[in-house]
Structure 1
Amino acid sequence: MQRILTAELDLELGSSVDLIFQIAAAQPAPIVREQLTFSTGDRVYTPTEIIDQSGSRLHRFFGDAGLLQVRYEAAVEGQVAARATSDLEAISYLRPSRYCQSDEVFAQARRQFGGLQGHDLISAVSEFVTASTTYSPGLSQGTDSAVTTLMTGQGVCRDYAHLVIALLRAMDMPARYAACYAPGLRPMDFHAVAEAYLDGQWYVIDATRLSNRNGLVRIATGRDAADCAFLSYYGGGLSLRRMRVDAVVLPDDAADVEALEQASSASDPAADDPALLVQIG
């Protein structure tokens, strides 16, 4: 099964700006081809690639004033091997963070999920966030946190992920945030999900129910959205003129009925059973 990933961004830079992008598939994804370009007119920038402990790939450079065009395309073949998680890393995902204030939702989490552990806890938290939150594009702010989402009952994928993470951490289960490409996602965009750490493995939770977790391709991993932004910039100003994101699943053999069905299923959110434990592959 091959997944084709595409991202196009057009940015108007008002001056020289320090730019950091996270739009490339994370390591160790089995990438069979990949092209990432940053250009302004005839000038092509060569970024510095920085890879963090989770395999997230950051691309950094200074862009000059003008229209910056960012183009990314990659093909990912097969499934990714899971990265080992150190004890220190797992501990960091137990602590409150900027958008996932597990200490502030502690009392509610303990009342609502007290006595639950393991798979039962993951399922209960996922179901609660799905049922109590309405997907509402345009109504949440970039500064909204898990506490905001819990109070308002609305948000987008990042808000769902933050609330899941905060509740799981409040129940002493390490949880983290992942930015992904999501074949079949509607509306198509960069997608955010949560991951829970159970018995030495990370399992993905998409409380929006808008993606099929079996088709996801990881971009970045962190404590919350602050660690996984597709763009960070410093020392100047810019505006986003255009953005297009796409992800599709291609069958291994277009003439094989079973292969076609597998590819179609991996792009269909309705084909994903939320009760199953699934890893980002």
Structure 2
Amino acid sequence: MLRTVSSHLSFDVTSSTELYLAIAVADGAYDRFEHLTVTHQDALLEPLEIKTHHGARIHRVHAPAGRVVVDYHAQVTGTAALPPVEDADLIEYRRPSRYADSDKLLAFSRQQFAGLEEAALVTAVVGWVADHLRYAPGSSLPTDAASDTLLKRRGVCRDFAHLVVALLRAKDMPARFVSVYAPGLSPMDFHAVVEAYVDGAWHLVDATALAPLGSMLRIATGRDATDTAFLSNYHGYLTLRSMTVTATVQHSTSPGDLAVDAATGLAVLR
């Protein structure tokens, strides 16, 4: 399987700022060829790579005032190793977080999904969110948490993912937020999905069902969108002017899907 992804960002920096970009494909067992350039006016800026959790790589750039353009391109062959399981993750990803405020949804989740555990719980939560939320670009705010989404009953992929994560954590199941490149996604953009810890392993789910699970590529993993934002900046100001994301896949054999765990029927992000 050959996956080709790219992202193009253009923004105006109004005062010198420090940029943090989370757009590169995470480290994995696959073969990866990639190229990242950051241009200020006509000069190249040098990004510094910082490795973070679960193979994610953030690139830090000091950008002076002016037009800044970021271009990233990667070709990935093969699949990643199975996501490792660490005891610290099983603690952290049960706790409430800024956008996955599971502590506010305890009563609702425990009543709605009473008696369900493991794979049956995940399937029920994803199905409920898919049935009760409407995908509506522009309908949510960047500050909306899962509890806001539950009330509004609409949102975009990050809102769907936050609600799934929060409802699972409210039932004491570890769940985490993952940003990905998603071939087949329409409209194309960075995408947000969920990994839930079921029967001793991390499994991938997506309540939006907007893209095939089988070709998604991990970018960053964390508690919620706080840990996975594609762009953050500090000590300055900027205005995003344009953004283009692409993701395609070519299969050497039958397209199929991701590896599926026979015990759970759930996919694994590879």
- The TM-score normalised by the length of structure 2 is 0.95
Q: Counterpart of 1:278? A: 267
- 1:92 corresponds to 2:92: yes
Q: Which amino acid aligns with 1:202?
A: W
Equivalent pair of 1:249/1:266 in contact (CA under 8 Å): no
Q: Counterpart of 2:13? A: 13
In the alignment, the residues of structure 2 paired with residue 85 and residue 62 of structure 1 have an alpha-carbon distance, to the nearest angstrom, of 35
Q: Which amino acid aligns with 2:135?
A: Y
Q: Which amino acid aligns with 2:192?
A: A
Equivalent pair of 1:183/1:266 in contact (CA under 8 Å): no
Q: Which amino acid aligns with 2:266?
A: L
Q: Counterpart of 1:79? A: 79
- Cα deviation, 1:32-77, whole Å, max 9, x if unaligned, reads 3100110113311111111112111100021011111100000111
Q: What's the RMSD between the two structures over aligned residues?
A: 1.4
In the alignment, the residues of structure 1 paired with residue 101 and residue 11 of structure 2 have an alpha-carbon distance, to the nearest angstrom, of 32
The alpha-carbon deviation at position 78 of structure 1 amounts to 1.0
Equivalent pair of 1:31/1:74 in contact (CA under 8 Å): no
Q: Counterpart of 1:272? A: none
Q: Counterpart of 2:51? A: 51
The alpha-carbon deviation at position 84 of structure 1 amounts to 1.8
Q: Which amino acid aligns with 2:52?
A: D
Query: Percent of aligned pairs with the same residue?
Result: 46
In the alignment, the residues of structure 1 paired with residue 151 and residue 29 of structure 2 have an alpha-carbon distance, to the nearest angstrom, of 37
In the alignment, the residues of structure 1 paired with residue 37 and residue 70 of structure 2 have an alpha-carbon distance, to the nearest angstrom, of 6
Q: Which amino acid aligns with 2:222?
A: G
Q: Aligned with 1:100: secondary structure?
A: coil
Structure 1, 161-170 or 52-61: larger mean CA deviation? 52-61
Alignment of 1:215-226 (within 5 A): 215-226=215-226
The alpha-carbon deviation at position 29 of structure 1 amounts to 5.1
The alpha-carbon deviation at position 85 of structure 1 amounts to 2.3
Gaps of at least 5 residues in structure 2 are: 259-263
Equivalent pair of 1:139/1:155 in contact (CA under 8 Å): yes
In the alignment, the residues of structure 2 paired with residue 223 and residue 158 of structure 1 have an alpha-carbon distance, to the nearest angstrom, of 12
Q: Aligned with 1:161: secondary structure?
A: helix
Say how many residue pairs are matched. 265
Q: Counterpart of 2:241? A: 241
Q: Counterpart of 1:151? A: 151
Q: Which amino acid aligns with 1:168?
A: L
